Amino acid sequence: MKSHGAHDHLSVAFLSTYPPTQCGIATFTRDLSRAIVGADPDISRTIVAMDKPNESLVYPDYTERRIRRGVKMDYIRAAESVSYSDVGVVSVQHEYGIFGGADGALVLDFLAHLDKPSIATLHTVLREPSKGQREVVVKMSDRCAKLVVMSHLACDLLDRHYKVPRERVQVIPHGIPDLPFDDPEEHKRLFGMSGRRMALTFGLLSPGKGIETVITALPRVVERYPDLRYFVVGATHPEIRARSGEEYRNALERLAQDLGVSDHIVFRNKFVDLPELCQYLQAADVYITPYLNEAQITSGTLAYAMGSGAAVLSTPYWHAQELLADGRGRLFHFKDDEALARQMIDLFDHPDELNAMRRKAYDYSRAMTWSAVGSAYADLLRRASTEEVAAISPPVIGRSASIPELRLDHVRRLTDDTGMFQFAKYTLPDRTHGYCVDDNARALLVALLAFRITGNTEALRLAGIYLSYMHHSQCADGAFHNFMSYNRVHVQEEDFSDDCIGRSLWALGACWQISPDQGARRLAREMLERTAPLALKCGPRGIALSIMGLDAFIEGGEAPGWAHEMTQTLGRQLLDRYQSERADDWRWFESELTYDNAMLSLALMRAAKRLNDEHMMDAARESLDFIEELCFREGFLQLIGNEGWHQRDSTPATHDEQPIDAAAMVLAFRYAFICTHDRHYLERMRESFSWFLGANRLGLSLYDFATAGCRDGLTRESVNENQGAESTLSFLLALLAVIDLAGESLPDQAQTAAAIG
């Protein structure tokens, strides 16, 4: 090996969460980057930090830049920034949940625009990945010089289930601090535990940790060893705390009280730093990882415990099976508190066996110290820095510099505590016309999709307002009072509104599929079940929108049989309409083309996919091809104008083109690409979206980059400067659809986003 002095300087960029973010990946990346620099002083580090929306964290001064999780352009700009810097190689710390897009696919956008070598450390490798999850890893393998995993089992899984060649994978264990093998008694006094037995679990607290198994085992253990104290050290996971506060911790405390072991448990609700953590580890006689999920390929807490010299008891998740083999620890089955109690008592009954197990684990862990791990990574990074940058297919969106950032500024401007206003006077809400269910359903759909893609909690708050408005407007028979004046009085309408029924079902189905708020999901389901029968009375557009809602409802799981049957019935009705109107020169569902046209083709495609009906799919594609021929006559999208529409055997109207129609084209071409993998549809999706940005008859942008609103349409000679709800929400729905389609290698990812279409 060369001496450090023989090395050239190498700058390494780490793409990851990073402290002060509180998560295991962030802590790992900090410790790993320090270890690498410690192992090779000629290496320097910089951080590309993954941020959550609305975070304002203060990062170290060696942070290169931040990426907001769901903002596609942030990945591209960060990759370009790294590419034009002195960085020699990039280390990607991969966990599906820290990156945006379906299955975290936006990491591929970073790699696609990165002109530097890279390696990727996989913190999760699944035995049964979804197609999207598998393809993300495969694409990373194609692009990166090496994939790093922390166990031999993970290497086997990549070979068997991802078809990633073994030569592209390197096993480097999870790093641990280099602690001496001390007698725990030397450290117990720090916690008032001198002369007592001490058990420990640490880490961010969440229901999957299985702490209740240990608490349930304690009564039998403390009956024999009443001096035992069980320390549960770690703050509640920030995402769990944001959703349900301290509900899990409080439940554990109640369980301990009910079992009479409260005095034997110490909860330390704090995020401990490394020196304090090491003190806890060295004081513990027994360390317990009672996790509930077998498919855990890496556990830093387990590695740390072995390196501290604690005797480890664990459930048999994958990493534990590998690390604790050959007498380095003991396993008990998931949720088996009786087996855990027996194991603890047996170890305390036989202190020689306990100490022998501690020594075996400690000796095995010497290859896992941060100094050893840092040296292995430093060597790998130096070798990777000399690799040619592998090719990777660009993301499907393409021309990404023209894709605006997802912003909800104008949505917030048009929303009060009642709901979303229908219209705007220029950029300001027009209170004269009040609210309608139609637009609040659109707003609910957009807010939910924005939350799903970005994790933006403000979007979730807005979704609650729109759902509440819809609930207030729903009648006992499932219909809706569509309009409400500004003074909150429902306006009586005489006509049955297809759009109101269909859009409501679409939004409610999306709420059932997407919302993390269980109360909102239950309410949405109840409302959907009341409204769904009315879809059978709708015309083609109401049917199409209802199909979208039912498909999202089914995709959300636990849908009853009637939802599948109604999807089939509505799909057949739409197909019958198409066949009755179709002629060689008129391949459409009606005798005229009006508004939101491509939604009919999209819904028929969605039903065909759900029903596996090739005949239905052929009709859907034929109708979409027909409207494409009509609307791309001049080399760009020219929509059917609402100043006359397009009657059979007549010339299409060209004036008053509407954003709702452009959005429908984006969604329809997107789904056609997903179903067929035909890149022609992909190009049409791009061109349809570009209509909003000036690729239209007048060459004028309807999207307002200053307000994040969308103008209401193209008139004969200009744009309509009002930025109302329908136009703004149509633009955002199109933008979300484009953003969600993160990589061409993920054609099935839309199954996780059926709400978009």
Check whether residue 223 and residue 166 sit in a common domain. no
Considering the domain boundaries, does residue 390 fall inside one? no
As beta bridge partners, residue 483 has 436, 491
Q: Encoding tokens for residue 450? A: 């924005």
- How many angstroms separate the CA atoms of 308 and 233, rounded? 16
Could you tell me the CA-to-CA distances from 531 to 173, 448, 546, 568, 678 in Å, in that order?
55, 20, 10, 17, 36
Neighbours of 21 (CB within 10 A): 21
Pairing type for strands 490-491 and 483-484 reads antiparallel
Check whether residue 165 and residue 200 sit in a common domain. no
Check whether residue 573 and residue 624 sit in a common domain. yes
Domain boundary among 323, 357, 385: 385
End-to-end CA distance of the chain, in Å? 56
As beta bridge partners, residue 205 has 236
Looking at residue 274, which CATH number applies to its domain? 3.40.50.2000
Considering the domain boundaries, does residue 314 fall inside one? yes
In this predicted model, what pLDDT tens digit does every residue of 720-752 receive, in sequence order?
999 999 999 999 999 999 987 743 333 334 443
Spell out the alpha helix ranges (H) of 44-87: 72-83
Greater pLDDT, 393 or 552: 552
Instruction: Report how many domains make up the chain.
Output: 3
In this predicted model, what pLDDT tens digit does every residue of 598-631 receive, in sequence order?
999 999 999 999 999 999 999 999 999 999 999 9
Q: How confident is the model over 642-670, as a mean pLDDT?
A: 92
* Per-residue model confidence (pLDDT) at position 55: 64
Check whether residue 357 and residue 459 sit in a common domain. no
Domain boundary among 385, 415, 439: 385
Check whether residue 131 and residue 272 sit in a common domain. no
> Residue 617 in contact with residue 580, Cβ under 8 Å?
no
In this predicted model, what pLDDT tens digit does every residue of 140-171 receive, in sequence order?
999 999 999 999 999 999 999 999 999 999 99
* Per-residue model confidence (pLDDT) at position 494: 63
Residue labelled with tokens 């607290």 = 205
Check whether residue 216 and residue 334 sit in a common domain. yes
pLDDT bucket at 53, cuts 50 / 70 / 90: low
* Per-residue model confidence (pLDDT) at position 5: 44
Domain that holds residue 14: 4-175+372-385
> Residue 96 in contact with residue 140, Cβ under 8 Å?
no
* Per-residue model confidence (pLDDT) at position 405: 85
> Residue 17 in contact with residue 98, Cβ under 8 Å?
yes
Q: Is the pLDDT of residue 393 over 70?
A: no
Considering the domain boundaries, does residue 193 fall inside one? yes
Check whether residue 169 and residue 210 sit in a common domain. no
Closest CA to 561 of 615, 553, 547: 553
* Per-residue model confidence (pLDDT) at position 58: 85
> Residue 234 in contact with residue 300, Cβ under 8 Å?
no
pLDDT bucket at 400, cuts 50 / 70 / 90: very low
Considering the domain boundaries, does residue 328 fall inside one? yes
pTM above 0.85, yes or no: no
The share of the chain scoring above pLDDT 70, in percent, equals: 95
In this predicted model, what pLDDT tens digit does every residue of 39-48 receive, in sequence order?
999 999 999 9
Considering the domain boundaries, does residue 641 fall inside one? yes
In this predicted model, what pLDDT tens digit does every residue of 8-26 receive, in sequence order?
899 999 999 999 988 889 9
Considering the domain boundaries, does residue 392 fall inside one? no
Neighbours of 561 (CB within 10 A): 7
Check whether residue 490 and residue 639 sit in a common domain. yes
* Per-residue model confidence (pLDDT) at position 383: 95
Q: Is the pLDDT of residue 399 over 50?
A: no
In this predicted model, what pLDDT tens digit does every residue of 323-370 receive, in sequence order?
999 999 999 999 999 999 999 999 999 999 999 999 999 999 999 999
Q: Encoding tokens for residue 240? A: 């769990």
Q: How confident is the model over 545-558, as a mean pLDDT?
A: 96
In this predicted model, what pLDDT tens digit does every residue of 165-206 receive, in sequence order?
999 999 999 999 999 999 999 999 999 999 999 999 998 888
Q: Encoding tokens for residue 484? A: 């409400």
* Average pLDDT score, the chain: 91
Considering the domain boundaries, does residue 180 fall inside one? no
Domain boundary among 352, 385, 418: 385
Greater pLDDT, 243 or 638: 638
Q: Torsion angle of alpha carbons 76, 82, 84, 88, nearest 10°?
A: -140
- How many angstroms separate the CA atoms of 708 and 720, rounded? 15
Check whether residue 67 and residue 8 sit in a common domain. yes
Check whether residue 121 and residue 216 sit in a common domain. no
pLDDT bucket at 3, cuts 50 / 70 / 90: very low
Check whether residue 597 and residue 694 sit in a common domain. yes
Check whether residue 171 and residue 200 sit in a common domain. no
Closest CA to 102 of 59, 69, 79: 69
Considering the domain boundaries, does residue 391 fall inside one? no
Q: Is 31 helix (H, G, I), strand (E, B) or coil?
A: helix
- How many angstroms separate the CA atoms of 93 and 23, rounded? 13
Closest CA to 605 of 549, 669, 560, 539: 669
Looking at residue 583, which CATH number applies to its domain? 1.50.10.10
- Least confident residue range of 60-74, 205-219, 263-277, 487-501: 60-74
In this predicted model, what pLDDT tens digit does every residue of 503-544 receive, in sequence order?
999 999 999 999 989 999 999 999 999 999 999 999 999 999
pLDDT bucket at 391, cuts 50 / 70 / 90: low
In this predicted model, what pLDDT tens digit does every residue of 285-315 receive, in sequence order?
999 999 998 888 888 889 999 999 999 999 9
- How many angstroms separate the CA atoms of 257 and 259, rounded? 5
